[in-house]
Structure 1
Amino acid sequence: MVLNNKCKECNKICNSIHFQHRFIDWTSGNDNIDEFIKDTQISAHKDVKEASEWIPYDRLYNIEYIAKDEVYRANWIDGNINYFNYSGSWNNENQNLVKKDKNIYVLLKVIDYSKSITSVLMKEINKLFGITWDPETKNYMMVLNNKCKKCNKICNSIFFQKKFKDWTSENDDIDKFIQNTQLSAHED
């Protein structure tokens, strides 16, 4: 694909143009979700990290329930589109932006349809890589960064959070106290 049309905002072939040429290649099956993803991609003129993408569910594996409110941990085969440089970010062979950090850990959170899709997505604590759909449960899920918001790395609190379902003291107050203590264990 040869891209000839320049972005009206950037006056060059930028991320936004690359994404727009790929709009016909995917759909979530939900118009609101498609529009949300497209809006993030159209706005990603200079910083591709601002863009979300449609992530086919079969590109995720080792999906494991980790916390209440339908939060799961998974591996994402393809990784995120997290960088852009004008000299070499577009792969002409597969007609896509170059991806980095393949086979990464991500969090999956089921989208609550009782709220507006946009408000739910914008309030999430971690970077939204994209959205997927579980064909078994028929739920749309956000694919989120698995890094701690406070320290921006996979830290002790993330490790402890993954283990919350593996134990109980049989006392909800004690469990909550221990979990809160563990969640504050950044980098210790």
Structure 2
Amino acid sequence: MVVNLKILNNPVSITLEFINKIAIPYKACGITQDPETKNYMVVLNDICEKCNEVCNSIHFQRNFKNWTSGNNDIDKFIQDTQLSEHTFRVRNALEWIPYDRLDTYIAEDDEIDRVYRTNWTDGCICYWNNKNQNWERTDQNRFVTLKILNNPANTTLEFINKIAIPYKACGITQDPETKNYMVVFNDMCKKCNEVCNSIHFQRNFKNWTSDNNDIDKFIQDTQLSEHTYQVKNALEWIFYNKLYDIYVDEINKMYRANWIDGCINKWDNENQNWKRADQNMFITLKILNNPADITAELNKV
């Protein structure tokens, strides 16, 4: 365990000094002596004065010496959020996130606002594990968004007004090449205030296209409307090679086939992918005569 040592200035009057100044505000474990200085010292539990126990603020405080952002204002801001954590689960504490814990590929998302998206290897701090003497974390390899801090010296005001209020921030990092400080925050839905299905769909927009802007937008709009646990109305772009045994139903003037993947059902947090139902299901294909007016076409179907 981590303990504090308090020098006894007057060992002759140990009872009075101990009771009045040390034993009351702290939980003492014992007394020791430095063999070189001959000073007697009380061995005290390193506990929080507010909680009277070893809470999260103490675990954070013990680690202050192991990290720095290289900027005193940012260090103090992060430390202040950590020192405010007195509950079992960490709620609002930020942390200094080394840049190499973020995915090396960072794609610019919005040139105007200079917002970037990436993956964070470690995930958010959740609570302290006494057995392992380390933090338990959740959502490893999660998607996060990076927002450049334009004025690190005024971190508190900028952070509260522009970043902390609309988003749930995780920490702060620094690009070693540009030297820009960036806030790392959850890539959350503004409507749900969490990572809902619309966010999972949105993250995948760059990985597919129909090569038709009207169709792309129509599919994306249905996906962005998904805010419940199970996917209900979202469409997706289905690659043709995922269909097999395609044939023409001459009677109904339609194509029929089997679809390998099946319908999207819900998001699997553990595997970071969609769970699907009805793999190899039978489906019907209807030709779109006017993709530019896809809404009207689908209403006919």
Q: Identity of counterpart residues, as a percentage? A: 45
Higher relative contact order (CA 8 A, sep 6+): 1
Partner of 1:22: 63
1:157-172 matches, cutoff 5 A: 159-160=201-202
- 1:2 Cα deviation (Å)? 2.8
Higher mean alpha-carbon deviation, 1-10 vs 19-28, is at: 1-10
Contact 2:74 2:153 in 1 (8 A): no
Provide closer, same or farther for how the CA distance between residues 92 and 28 of structure 1 changes in structure 2, counting only shifts above 3 A. Answer: farther
What SS does the aligned partner of 1:32 have? helix
Contact 1:131 1:142 in 2 (8 A): yes
Partner of 1:172: none
Higher mean alpha-carbon deviation, 63-72 vs 5-14, is at: 63-72
Provide closer, same or farther for how the CA distance between residues 183 and 30 of structure 1 changes in structure 2, counting only shifts above 3 A. Answer: farther
- 1:130 Cα deviation (Å)? 0.2
Letter in 1 for 2:102: L
Contact 1:155 1:186 in 2 (8 A): yes
Provide closer, same or farther for how the CA distance between residues 162 and 143 of structure 1 changes in structure 2, counting only shifts above 3 A. Answer: farther
- 1:90 Cα deviation (Å)? 2.7
Partner of 2:116: 72
- 1:6 Cα deviation (Å)? 1.0
Residue 31 of structure 1: which of 54, 72, 81 is its match?
A: 72
- Asked if 1:156 is matched to 2:156, the reply is no
TM-score (norm. length: structure 1): 0.77
Contact 1:66 1:162 in 2 (8 A): no
Letter in 2 for 1:60: L
TM-score (norm. length: structure 2): 0.50
Which ranges of structure 1 fall in alignment gaps of 5 or more residues? Answer: 168-177
Letter in 2 for 1:58: D
Which ranges of structure 2 fall in alignment gaps of 5 or more residues? Answer: 4-44, 210-217, 228-232, 234-301
Q: What whole-Å deviation, never above 9, does each CA across 1:116-173 have from its counterpart, x for those lacking one? A: 2112211312111000000111100000011213212234267548859x99xxxxxx
Partner of 1:111: 149
Q: Which has the higher strand share?
A: 2
Could you say what the CA RMSD is over the residues aligned between the two structures, in angstroms?
2.8
Letter in 2 for 1:51: A
